[in-house]
Structure 1
Amino acid sequence: MGKRHVLRHDEAIEIATPGDADALRVTGRPVPVPGHDQILVKIAYAGVNRPDVLQRRGAYAPPPGASDLPGLEASGEVVGIGAGVTRWRKGDKVTALLPGGGYAEYAVCNADHALAIPRGMDLREAACLPETAFTVWSNVVTRGGLQAGERFLVHGGTSGIGMMAIQIARALGARVWATAGSDEKCAAISKIGANAINYREEDFVEKVTAEGGADLILDMVGGSYISRNIRALANDGRLVMIAFLEGPKVEQNFAQIMVKRLTVTGSTLRPQSDTAKAEIAQVLRDRLWPLIESGAVNVTIDSEFALKDAADAHRRMESSGHIGKIVLKVSDD
């Protein structure tokens, strides 16, 4: 057999050592080879997410076998197909949930974690779908059980997660409240159909309980919000935790949970099994993609950065000034 030629990225972003945004640096890496049930995607755009920032800081390690490069979602073209893959062909355009490696020109992913680009959406917008769509649907609809007519509260309303959650909840017929920290952000929340609560000026517990309390709360803040969320829930309400920007530890009186018959739960996406993620992808294909194609659910993009400027994208994320998604342009689409 002849010597194998190893293709290399011209450009990828690695975490040199855990730290601030300057820890991100441009590097060259071998192009990954798709294994069984995997596809290789030539990336056009990659979404930027809070878990990328946590990984950069050394607080969110990749799962075993995953790329050490950051990046959990991307869009692009299928250019390689591993053994056992029948769903995709070379040349197909996809948006994909990645175990890591999205800040690069090429990435591999499980074939069942990729979805066709929704009709009417371009690759730039589609790159911003997977991490938010998988997270929101699995936690708000599947785990949280949101139903039409229920009262739903989401914190961080102008984050990618928040804006996706608002739109999905509205499309399902729920009444929606969302918190944010400025008039500009509250205006953006109101524009997509939520009742905005400026947490710097108003008490979300008072606002929501005045309407009967929330049936479901999606929280990514934690810390002091945990006990306040429990007060804000209606009888038989559900609290779903997906992140802890204020920290995961708090002293809590569980009698309130018992008296109101509350459910407190949560999840994190990245460590889940390939099978679990494939099941979520199928549900998105069947139920969320039609909502996107009808225009009921959209992606709001805050800003775009070149791949080499990933550090600036992280600074934008950490400023908390963004409204919607931050995206990296990797190659021409």
Structure 2
Amino acid sequence: MKAVVIKEPGGPDMLSIEKVEKPSINANEVLVRVRATALNRADLLQRRGFYPPPKGASNILGLEMAGEVVEIGDHVTKAKKGDKVCALLPGGGYAQYTVVPEEMLIPIPDNLSFEQAAAIPEVFLTAYLNLFMLGNLKRDYNVLVHAGASGVGTAAIQLIREAGATAYATAGSNEKIARAIELGASDGWNYNEGSFLPWIKEKTNHNGVNIVLDFVGAPYFEDNLQSLAIDGRLIVIGTMGGIHVNNVNLGFILKNRLQIIGTALRTQPFEKKVELTKAFTKFALERFKNGRLQPVIDSIYDWKDVSKAHEYMESNANIGKIILNVTD
């Protein structure tokens, strides 16, 4: 089969499509002919040599995919050849074929294309994990979503809306804020205009938010804490702005009973990923069928243009997911 390989750690020009060995399945797995995959920030880090895959996972990039089941293991009980499925992967999505445990499969509703389905697993499962399973999201909660126009951000806003809670989003342009509001955010803040703290305080009548989803890290840390309500949770999903924080006021954290949670989906134990996939599918599948939830796609590239797709993601211009069509 063909797959995107990293010739050596570096820039987007280090990616090329080469022939590699086709994977084989175990008894509880299926082989999927990949029709579409999607870019994630982790792909950019792995390409540079900074984010190796978990032990035993494929070295091929790609944390999600959509395609057709072409082979099933001896112990597979529900999946059938020809099924259209999408799934979260520990790696291996930038390839013509990939192996998926049956328990991780998500059926693709008839109203969604492969490209749309490929935009679901990583961002929606990440958002669901952090909002519901770690953030204990409840109706009438207020949630501050940073990077509101990103893949995870656009998914989180929709899930917050469907849970009956209120989302506030930050983003780097008025166009991105408008898209976040269109998806269900109550309001948005352009971070180029300064700190979001006075704005979010005003929006919540100085009560603060119950959950902050943060991708930025160190530069936002203090304002994130100040934005939280009593018993609030700061959930750190990424550290794009830096990892080192100085002069943390532990007294403030204690007084307000705050929780700071670090999270990563890729390194979760397999059993946790199965639990997450089942819970998310139960919550979301009918909502995708009836259009209440929608994958948000910025652009679609042929995988032969994978280097251009990576360059575009690095520009931070996208609103939603960047998709690769995996052709012959």
1:272 alignment partner in structure 2 = 268
Partner of residue 259 from structure 1, selected from 255, 261, 286: 255
1:38 alignment partner in structure 2 = 29
2:280 alignment partner in structure 1 = 284
1:326 alignment partner in structure 2 = 322
Alignment of 1:1-333 (within 5 A): 9=1, 11-194=2-185, 195-210=187-202, 211=204, 212-251=207-246, 252-331=248-327
Q: CA-to-partner distance for each residue in 1:96-122, whole Å, 9 max, x for gaps? A: 111111111111122111110034212
TM-score after normalising by structure 2: 0.96
Give the secondary-structure state (helix, strand or coil) at the position aligned to 2:193: coil
Q: CA-to-partner distance for each residue in 1:66-107, whole Å, 9 max, x for gaps? A: 111100100000011123211211111100111111111111
TM-score after normalising by structure 1: 0.94
- Specify the code of the residue in structure 1 equivalent to 2:227: A
In 2, Cα distance between equivalents of 1:165 and 1:232: 18
In 1, Cα distance between equivalents of 2:27 and 2:122: 23
Q: CA-to-partner distance for each residue in 1:178-211, whole Å, 9 max, x for gaps? A: 0001111111112112111101114211111121
Q: Which runs of 5+ in 2 are unaligned?
A: none
Alignment check: 8 A CA contact 1:190 1:196 kept:
yes
How many Å apart are 1:290 and its aligned residue? 2.1
Q: CA-to-partner distance for each residue in 1:252-274, whole Å, 9 max, x for gaps? A: 22111111111111211111121
| Identity, % of aligned positions | 41
Alignment check: 8 A CA contact 1:209 1:233 kept:
no
Number of equivalenced pairs: 323
Moved over 6 A (4+): none
In 2, Cα distance between equivalents of 1:205 and 1:87: 49
Alignment check: 8 A CA contact 1:73 1:98 kept:
yes
- Specify the code of the residue in structure 1 equivalent to 2:95: A
Give the secondary-structure state (helix, strand or coil) at the position aligned to 2:192: coil
Alignment check: 8 A CA contact 1:205 1:232 kept:
yes
1:3 alignment partner in structure 2 = none
- Specify the code of the residue in structure 2 equivalent to 1:72: L
In 1, Cα distance between equivalents of 2:274 and 2:100: 11
Give the secondary-structure state (helix, strand or coil) at the position aligned to 2:31: strand
Query: Cα RMSD (Å) of the superposition?
Result: 1.2
